[in-house]
Chain A
Amino acid sequence: MITIDGAEGEGGGQVVRNALALSLATGQPFRITNIRGGREKPGLMRQHLTAVEAACAIADATCDGAAVGASEITFHPGTVRAGDYHFAVGTAGSTSLVLQTVLMPLVMAGAPSRLVLEGGTHNMQAPPFDFIDRCFLPVLNRLGPRVTARLIRHGFYPRGGGRVEIEIAPAPLSPVDCLDRGAPLSVSATALIAGLPFDIVTREIETARRFLDWPEEAFATHELPADRGPGNVLLLEAAFERGTEIVTGFGKIGTSAQSLAKTAAQRMAGFIGSAAFAGPYLADQLLLPFALAGGGAFTTVKPSRHSLTAADVIARFTGQRWTFAAQDDGTHLARRI
């Protein structure tokens, strides 16, 4: 049986989620030990457990040892069944992370599925809905399937309570090359706020404008009903002919509006200045579908620890080796060797 040391590499929840998705997609059982071994609170946390339960639900799979705080689980996948599923994630958990676990197995199932996900939609340490919808899914759809996402309700930390609906029309996956993002099409900066003083978004927009040489009409504020809050994010979006990047700044207590806007804007400026197709977060997400398609390639910025760890887990389940080779133009080429 495939045995994974959960503390190796990036050593977080992503190892668990990728292993679950790969196990369901390839039909191989696995055991993971030392789950989140290097973290302050090691073991499975609630949101990871929800991901495990979701993986069990879509495939009649069994998981031994699944409990909050567990350092080791053994997972036996069953047959993935397309269908209507509803998963709800607790306080710190993001709907995107549950989606990351079940999406690829359902994409490879024989029939359409519909997912309703409840929880956070714009949480720290997870891709926000906008990123899934406009950065990740368009690339995935180029591999063959047709996956659409709808945001019904925003959900911010700590309250959660957001709702996302996903429609999945599966298709066989074919390898695609995403090397050149093409010419810039449009840019936008949106500051979302709910239940907090409005001057926060004003300051975020002002700061972002100082660091990004974008036209005035690109900047907008969007106030959500107060009862959705408290919550605040700054979404910076750059669309190119063949791909889109979104950089997010998450408002939180103790971080000033100016500083989060400055960090986000500098990261966006850095991406625009490079020639890469995928930013660091998109690169993480793309490895799994590309590997399941069996090939293809994309360019990205310097690979993150998340990406390198994902490549290791993929190798354990598929035998494929994915590498990031530095290119002359400063980008890195991710491809199977």
Chain B
Amino acid sequence: MKPARFAYTAPDTTEGTLDALDRFGDEAKVLSGGQSLVPMMNFRLARPEVIVDIGRVGGLDGMSAANGTLTLGARVIHARLEAPAVTTPDGRSEPLGGVLGSLLPAVARFVGHLPIRVRGTFGGSIAHADPAAEWCILARTLDAEMVALRRGGERAIAAADFFETVFTTALAPEELLAAVRLPILGDDWRTGFCEFSRRAGDFAVVAAMTAVRLVPATGAIAEARIGVGGVAGVPVRLGGAEATLLGEVPSADLHAAAAAVAAGEVDPVGDLHGSAAYRRDLVRAMVARALAQGAGSLR
């Protein structure tokens, strides 16, 4: 469990980072906290020739809200999302309120353990693309946009296109994930997040996030998002279950019906922590609970 030989560079600037990525291409791997990458290197499951450590790069750890979008710098550590605060245009820091202000801490507490949360980063988790990772599920469920920089260019990648398969994303070797943009959900949204893991802090066996927008006058569901992790190579959206909810008023029966559809929609692969059938069973439970949580009938 000693890593294979690698070269290490720690640029001070974004430009320096992009130069390094441009130069080393797919021989390079970006280190942003290293809470997954370093163990994988120690097991020699990952053998990058060059580590580009972005820990010294300034300007990648900001959080700001503008024009209906919350922008999270790639180097924001998990722990900061337990009590998220944004920087205002005049440079002040203020707590993030609203629906995301409640949702992010509720999710953050499931991310690993405290030592992991104070070193590991939001962007690192997204770029690592573990299909059961909380932030990947959140990004997929809320249709986040990933901001990818390369020398002389920038592009935004939709979550639906970003996650390709296990540990594999649409990022090109010369691209750096610099930030993630999340839509700021209005107060008419109701969100829930439930996760089942074997122990506190483990990756989820199955986790589900739900977000529904209610029509204020009627209380009916106008928009619905259901994302689950732990059932495929990427976090998935469950369109069938989402459709079940549209136009309906939240109720225990409705949630059960949507959860049943959700369980039928997934096609999980089993491993030693849960067979395919068990994971499907868990999808039903987690989706139902997340919906109930959003409706306020479950903590």
Q: Do A and B bind each other?
A: no
Task: Give the A-binding residues of B (Cβ under 8 A).
Answer: none
